[in-house]
Amino acid sequence: MQRRDFMKLSLMAGSAVLMPNLTDAASLDLSKVNFSGAAYQNNQAQTVIIFLYGGASQLGGNITNINEINAHSQNNYNDYFRGVTATKNGCWQEAGGTEIEKLIADGDMTLYRCCYSQAREESDNKAHGVCVDQNQRGTFDADGGGIVANIAAILSSKGAISEKMLMPFVTMEGESTFYTEGKVPLAGYLKPMGINENFDNPYERTRWTIRKWTYYTEKERDSAPSSYWKPDEEGGFDPALTKKMDRVAQAHNQSGKIKDALDRRGNLAAFVKNIKSAAIPDLGEDAYPDHDFADKIKAAITLLDKNPDTKIITLGTGGLGGWDDHNDARDYVSRHEALFSSLKSAMAHLKAIEKDGKINIMVFGDFGRNVNLNAAHGWDHGNLQNLYILGGKDYFAHQGIVGETVVDVTGSLNRLWLKPKKGTYWFEPLSIAATLYRIYGIENPDVLTGGHYPPVNILS
C-alpha cells in the first residue's frame, strides 16, 4: 500500500475510530439473531481473513486428478510447468505442496477441497464482481451488509465490543465489501481502521518533506510515489506545537465524544508505536520469507497478539500478485508457494506466542478455475475452490484434508472442470460466512446468509 493510499484510507477509516459520534449508532435488526455471549467469551476468537482476489486455482492443494486432466487438457501440464509433482496427499509440491503437507501433518490446518456453488452453477455465474460481492457479504442478497460489518454491528449491540476498544476491525487491503454497511450506517468506531505492514501511524503528527524534487506542478507532486517522501529529520511536530494544537482543538469542540477522542489521540499514537517496535520470537527454520506479503502476515499476527481488542483483520495478497490466471499461469506456482511458506511461518509464530488456540486464519477467494490449460497457458473461471482454515484450535477441530473431486468433461474445448465427487462433503461459499458468524457467538447464521448454508464441519 502506497503511503498516500494508506493516508487516504486512514482519513476515512481512522477518523471514524477517533470520532465515533459522527454517524448514528445504529445496528442491524437483531430480532431474529440469537447471540451466545458465553460462546463468544469462550472462543475469544480473532481472525485473519486472506482473500485471494482474482479466483485462485485450486490445483495447488489438489492435483489428485492430474492424469485425467492431462488426458483432456488443451495443453499438457508437464510440458509447460517446471514440475508437477504430487505430494503424499495429492497437493502440488512445487506450488507450496510441501508447506501444505506440513501444516496438515502438524494438525494446524484443514484443507477443504469442495467449496462449490450449486446456485452459481445453475445460474452460470462465474463473474469476478458478483462472486467477490457475494462471498464478502456472505449472502446472495445484493443489499446485505458485509460479513465483518454484520459481526461488528451485532457484537456492539450485544455489548461485546464498545467504543472504548482500540481498533476492533482492521483492514490491510483498503476498502472491501467485507465492511459494506447494510441499510443503516454503523457507528464510527465499528468502521475498519486502515493500517499497513509497516504500522505507519495515522495518529502521529509527523512532518513530511520532499526527498527528490522532480515533480513541478501540484498535480504531478501529488501523484509522486511514496518513495519521494520521508519524515522530517527533526522527527515530527515540535512538542510545544502539538500541545498548542490540542488546546485549540479542545477549545473549539463541544464537550462529549469528539473531545474524548482527541484526548485519546496521544494514547493511540503511543499504542501503535509500541506495536511497531514489538519483537517477534525467533522462528528458526520457519522464519518468515523476505517479501511484502509475508510482512503483512507477520504484522497481522503481531497486532492480534498485542491487541486483544482487534477481532478481525482482512487482507489481500498484495506483494504476491493477483490470481486471475487466464494466461501465462507459470507464475502461479511460485506465488502459491510464497503464500503457503508465509502461512507456515504464521502458524509457527502463533505457536511461539501460544495464540494458535484463539487466532485463526481463513484463506479463500472469488472462485476456483477450470482445469483446462488453455491456448494462452492459463485457466479460465471455474466454480470449485479450496478453503484453508488454520489455527483457532480452541474452537476448531482440524481434520486434515476433506473432500474429493472428479473431472467433468463436457466435450467442448476449454470446458474441463473439477466438481465434488458424489457422496463427498461439499458446501456453498456462504458457509464460510456462517462459520465466521458462529465463532463470534451468532447461533443462527441463516438469518444473515439468507438461506440454509450451515457452518463448515470444523466446529468443535
Q: What are the structural domains of the chain?
A: 3-194+278-449 (3.40.720)
| Amino acid in the structure at residue 438 | R
State which of 161-175, 268-282, 394-408 shows the largest mean pLDDT.
Answer: 394-408
Contact between residue 370 and residue 414 where contact means Cβ atoms under 8 Å apart: yes
Look at residue 392 and tell me whether its pLDDT is greater than 90.
Answer: yes
Joined together, the cell numbers standing for residue 215 give: 515533480
Which residues partner with 47 through β-bridges?
312, 360
Residue partners of 164: CB distance under 8 A and separation at least 6: none
How does DSSP assign 372-397, residue by residue? ---TTSS--B-SEEEEEEEE-TTTB-
Residue partners of 337: CB distance under 8 A and separation at least 6: 94, 95, 96, 99
Look at residue 383 and tell me whether its pLDDT is greater than 60.
Answer: yes
Look at residue 112 and tell me whether its pLDDT is greater than 50.
Answer: yes
Tens of pLDDT, residue by residue over 414-423, are 789 999 999 9
pLDDT at res. 186? 86
Report CA torsion sign: 84, 456, 317, 326: positive
| Amino acid in the structure at residue 328 | D
Contact between residue 211 and residue 229 where contact means Cβ atoms under 8 Å apart: yes
Q: Provide the 3-class DSSP secondary structure of residue 133.
A: helix
Name the CA dihedral angle for 440, 441, 444, 447, rounded to a multiple of 10 degrees: -50
Which residues partner with 408 through β-bridges?
417
Look at residue 324 and tell me whether its pLDDT is greater than 70.
Answer: yes
Tens of pLDDT, residue by residue over 49-65, are 999 999 999 999 999 99
Tens of pLDDT, residue by residue over 222-273, are 565 555 544 444 445 556 666 676 666 666 655 545 545 555 566 677 777 7
Return d(Cα 416, Cα 68) in angstroms, integer: 10
pLDDT at res. 253? 58
pTM: 0.84
Q: How many CA atoms lie within 13 A of 172 on its CB side?
A: 30
Contact between residue 313 and residue 170 where contact means Cβ atoms under 8 Å apart: yes
Joined together, the cell numbers standing for residue 341 give: 511458506
Joined together, the cell numbers standing for residue 312 give: 478481525
Q: What share of the chain is helix, strand, coil (3-state, %, to 5)?
A: 40, 15, 45
Q: What average pLDDT score do residues 36-57 get?
A: 98
Return d(Cα 136, Cα 213) in angstroms, integer: 42
Helical H runs in 106-146?
Answer: 118-123, 128-137
Contact between residue 108 and residue 348 where contact means Cβ atoms under 8 Å apart: no
Q: Give, to the nearest 10 degrees, the angle between helix 292-306 and helix 330-352.
A: 20
Return d(Cα 85, Cα 153) in angstroms, integer: 46
Return d(Cα 55, Cα 281) in angstroms, integer: 33
Minimum mean pLDDT among 13-27, 82-96, 204-218, 260-274: which range?
Answer: 13-27
CA distances from 360 to 46, 350, 410 (A): 6, 9, 39
Mean pLDDT over all residues of the chain? 85
Tens of pLDDT, residue by residue over 76-86, are 999 999 999 99
Joined together, the cell numbers standing for residue 226 give: 511514496
Q: How confident is the model at residue 342 (pLDDT cuts 50, 70, 90)?
A: very high
pLDDT at res. 250? 61
pLDDT at res. 220? 56
pLDDT at res. 373? 97
Return d(Cα 367, Cα 379) in angstroms, integer: 12
Place of cell 520470537: 281
Return d(Cα 371, Cα 74) in angstroms, integer: 10
User: Beta strands of 136-185 (E only): which ranges?
Assistant: 169-171
Q: Provide the 3-class DSSP secondary structure of residue 77.
A: helix
